[in-house]
Structure 1
Amino acid sequence: MNLAALMNKENTGIRQKLIPIEVKVLTETNSKLKVWRKFGLNSIEVKQFYSWIDSTVLSEMKNEFNLE
């Protein structure tokens, strides 16, 4: 296993590039969950949130890993 490809001093490892994307998604998820727990689920908002996750993760991954 090539651990340097996952994590390294230069912060260019795969895992290191994924962490900010995860934090962004999880931060937004926690924010949404607080509202939904307090006021109940809104199916339209949930679908919009899933779409946001899909587009955000795809966009961030393309950008971070120079895909496309």
Structure 2
Amino acid sequence: MTFNVVTGVSYESEINEIRAFRTIEQWRSCIRQADFEDTFIYDEQEDDSTDDIRLYFANQKNKIQMK
């Protein structure tokens, strides 16, 4: 909540904010269920002070068939 106070977010907005905290495996499962292919590529932004992990998925519907 400290970050939001510093950025001017009201207390009411803060307590009503939807938060969808999930484990990496839970996110991977949700995205695979939406018909995306897990590439198993993970990345972290070097200059980001938060502990965020970026995951990469491929869209199955736009996949090109190789003959």
- Same fold by TM-score greater than 0.5: no
Between Structure 1 and Structure 2, the one with more helix by share is 1
Normalising by structure 1, report the TM-score: 0.22
Normalising by structure 2, report the TM-score: 0.22
Between Structure 1 and Structure 2, the one with more strand by share is 2
